[in-house]
Each structure stands twice: as C-alpha cells, then as structure tokens.
Amino acid sequence: MNARPARDMARLGLLAGTAVILAVMENQVPRPLPWMRLGLGNLPVLVALLTFGFGPAFGVSVVKVLLGGFLGGGLGGPASIMGMVAGGASVTTMGAACRWSGGCFSAVGVSIIGAVTHQLAQLGVASAYMGHTAVLSLLPLAMLSGLLSGGIIGLLAEWSRRRLTGGEARPVHA
Amino acid sequence: MLRERESWRHPAWRTAWRLLTPADRILIVIVFLGAAASLIWSGRGTEEGGWVHVEVAGEFHGEYPLTETRVVDLDGPAGRTVMEIHDRAVRITAAPCPNQCCRRRGAVNQAGQLIVCVPNRVLISVAGGAPAAVVDAVAR
C-alpha cells in the first residue's frame, strides 16, 4: 500500500479512536439480552470503509477489537475471540460487498451485510467453542437484530459520511 | 394509507427510505426470509430440553428436571414470579410486572430456549441432557 497523506492518517486515527470509545461505552450500557446491541463501534469502521476503502477500514476494525478488548477486560477470553472473528468476518464481507457489487448496495445495505455476518460468525464460533448447537436456536433473533442494528448503523454512517465529506454524492464502491 | 400518518411523512423517514437502493430492499427481504426459515428450522431441529436452569437477580436459584411436575415461587426485586413445570415444559403462571411479557412467552421445552422477566430479573433457560448454563458464552 502506498504512503498515505498525513491528513488521511490523522483522520483514520480519529475514526479508530472513536470506534474504541463507542465500543467500550456500549459495553457499559446494560442490555436486556446479551446478544442484542446496536454495534455503535461499527459506525466508524463503516465510515472508514466508505471514505477510505477496505484496507484502512480493516485497520480501524483491528484497533477497535484489540484496544476495546484490552480496555473492557477479558482480552484473550472466549468472548473477545468471538468478537475478533466476528469483527474480521464482518469488515471483510462489507469490503467485498463494496468492491464486487458494482455499487448496487447503499451504505445501509453494506451495513446490514456486515451486521448479519457479525451475528452469524459470533453464533458459529459460540457453537463451535461449546460443542453444542443449542446456541443456534438464537439464529432467527440474531438475524433480525442484525437487520435492525445494521440498518440503523448504515443510516448513521451515510449521514456521517455526508457531513464529513461535505455532502458530495459518491458511489459506495471505493 | 401510510401517507395519512403524520410520523411517516417526517423528512428523516423519507430521506432514509430514498437512500435504499433496489439491491438493499431485496437484501432486507432475503435476510427477513432467512430469519423466518431459520426459525422454522430451529423449531424442528433442536433437541428436547432436559433441565431448567433458573437465575434470579443475577444469582443461581436452582435447576429442575423437566420431567417432574412442580411449581416454584421466585422472589425477585419486583415481587413474586411463579414458574410451573408441567408436561415436559416450563411456563410462567404469575408475574408481578404490568406487561406480563414472560407469561405471554408461553410454555417452553427446547434446549436453549429462554424465558426472561427483566423487571423481576428472572432468567429461566432450558438446557439439554445435562444441567448446564447454555447462553453464558455468547459474546457481549
């Protein structure tokens, strides 16, 4: 990868920092059910993907998962491994959706793909880890909550991107 | 029909809706159908539950076999929730909360299924063959 201008590096740093803060903050909010959450930490990752492309977005995601796990405690535990696998799978499919769909998905579609992948990967790792498929009964709920949270995060990401890039309309694929 | 409802005419909703591309809408429908299909599949394919694991206010309360009929009173911060095990299924027969969510959940008997009462902090999970907490390891 070519050297990026310092301006872009600074912006990516800000996005990564925001992602860590949002992820840690969201973990403090009590939830009625452990697997239902908005995934606010994914918002900066998506914004990075939309404005800078896959590589930088992957970097932001790695920083988010590592630092978020470090600050939230339990780095290396089963929960953080699930988060790592799910985060990596999510950003990879979102990048693929941006690159190879020819721009037919908006930010909302890309975000839903990422959120649903995140949920599926998490459940996959959970059932593999426990050697028990009972967790898969959460699949319908997980997919619906991924649809909802992915849609909301996608809208927020699109609006943030318009604010950040001065409102110009630009196709999604980078 | 929807146009008559003021809230749907809010500009934010309209811009959000216009943002969606045709592919987005197809994707949403596919995920929805996938969720419905997996609901049907998981309803058929899961194993029968064997044990009921009960937690009240974050603390372990007890484990009961699904095979024995019994009524258990669960005293939580909001009052008394009554759990009944009958016919190899567990249900809530009385709850102190106004919305009665947990009662409307009905009878549950498949491994991995849950009954949750948030106000009274009651968590009832059905486990498979051996008594074990099934849901603890799902990442936060």
pLDDT in single tens digits along all 140 residues of chain B: 444 455 666 777 777 778 888 888 999 999 999 988 888 876 665 567 788 888 887 788 888 888 888 898 988 888 888 999 988 888 888 888 766 767 777 788 877 777 877 778 788 888 876 544 444 444 43
- With CA atoms as reference, the chain B residue closest to A102 would be B23
A79 vs A156, higher pLDDT: A156
Give the Cα separation of A162 and A168 in Å (integer).
7
A44 vs A65: CA distance, rounded Å: 12
Instruction: Work out the number of other CB atoms within 10 angstroms of the CB of residue B22.
Output: 10
Note whether A109 contacts B21, CB cutoff 8 Å.
yes
Q: Are strands B89-94 and B79-86 parallel, antiparallel or unpaired?
A: antiparallel
B42·A140 Cβ contact <8 A: yes
| pLDDT of A148 over the 50 cut | yes
Q: Is residue B139 less than 8 Å (CB to CB) from chain A? A: yes
A-proximal residues of B, 11-50, CB under 8 Å: 16, 19-24, 27-28, 31-32, 34-36, 38-39, 42, 46-47
Q: Which tops the pLDDT comparison, A76 or B135?
A: A76
Lowest mean pLDDT among A9-13, A137-141, A155-159: A137-141
pLDDT given at position B57: 79
Question: Closest chain A residue to B115 measured between Cα atoms?
Answer: A33
Instruction: Please report how many Cα atoms fall inside a 13 Å half-sphere around the Cα of residue A169, on the Cβ side.
Output: 3
Task: Place A132 in a pLDDT band, splitting at 50, 70 and 90.
Answer: low
> Looking at the complex, does the CB of residue A143 fall below 8 Å from at least one CB of chain B?
yes
Cα of A145 to nearest chain B Cα, Å? 10
Instruction: At A157, list the tokens.
Output: 């990401």
Helices (H), chain B: 11-19, 22-45, 101-104
**Sheet order of strands, B70-76 included:** B70-76, B79-86, B89-94
Q: Is A82 on the interface with B (CB under 8 A)?
A: yes
When scoring A137, A148, A173 by the number of chain B Cβ atoms within 10 A, the one with the most, hence best to mutate, is A137
pLDDT for the residue B45 = 53
Enumerate the domain spans of chain A: 6-164
| CATH number, domain A6-164 | 1.10.1760.20
CATH 3.40.640.10 corresponds to the domain B51-127: no
First to last CA, chain A: 15
Cβ contact (<8 Å) for A147 and B28?
Answer: yes
| Spatial distance between the Cα atoms of B53 and B61, rounded to a whole number of angstroms | 8
Name the amino acid, one letter, at A73: G
